Structure 1
Amino acid sequence: MFVVNITYTVAVEEIDAHLPAHTRFLQQYYQQGVFLASGRKVPRTGGMIFATAKNQTEVEAILHNDPFYLAGLANYEITEIEVSKTASGLSQLLTL
């Protein structure tokens, strides 16, 4: 599994202008089963995405389609994790 840490590099007003397209991007990969969870950081300086993929190269290729990336609005840090323990009801994460 991969954790994507997104950090905005522009004002939130600029982010908001691209938010509808970013939401459509997220939905596309939720429908494909690639994204498992996502959300805004508090305070609102960026966001996080939890994703499944074969490798980091695949995650990078997906993120290059994000409207935030295409418009140069954010930096992305990708961390791969090997899930070894989960809360009840999340055991499917162990096989990712």
Structure 2
Amino acid sequence: MFVVSLNYKVPLAEIDRLAPAHVEWLKVCYVEGIFVASGPKNPRTGGVIIARGPRDVLDARLAADPFAKAGAADYDVTEFTARMTAAGLDAFNEV
């Protein structure tokens, strides 16, 4: 699994302009089964995505994000192995 940390590089007005396309991109990634959870950071300096699947697929999807295409965000990806999960999330255990 992966934790993706997005950090905005442009003013929030530009993020807000790109947000509808970004949300549509997120929806596609959920349908594809790549994303598990996502949401904005607080304070609103970026966002966080929990993802799964092969790293090359994730990298390709992140490159297709409207924020990435516009140069509006940087992405920091951390891979981890989910060995324990909360009740009801057993499907995400990797070992």
Answer yes or no: same fold by TM over 0.5.
yes
Q: Which amino acid is 1:29 matched to?
A: C
Gaps of 5+ in 2: none
Superposed CA deviations along residues 22-58 of structure 1, whole A, max 9, x for unmatched, are 000000010111111000000000001111112x222
Q: CA RMSD in A?
A: 1.1
The answer to whether the 8 Å contact 2:5/2:49 transfers is yes
Secondary structure of 1:22's counterpart equals helix
Report the count of equivalent residues. 95
**Which SS does the other structure have where 1:25 is aligned?**
helix
Following superposition, which runs of at least 4 residues in structure 1 exceed 6 angstroms of deviation?
A: none
- Matched-pair identity in %: 44
Partner Cα separation in structure 2 for residue 85 and residue 62 of structure 1: 26
Counterpart of 1:17 in structure 2 is 17
**TM value normalised by structure 1:** 0.94
Structure 2 Cα separation of the partners of residues 59 and 43 of structure 1: 25
1:36 maps to a residue whose letter is V
| Contact 2:22–2:66 under 8 Å retained in 1 | yes
* Residue segments in structure 1 that go unaligned for 5+ positions in a row: none
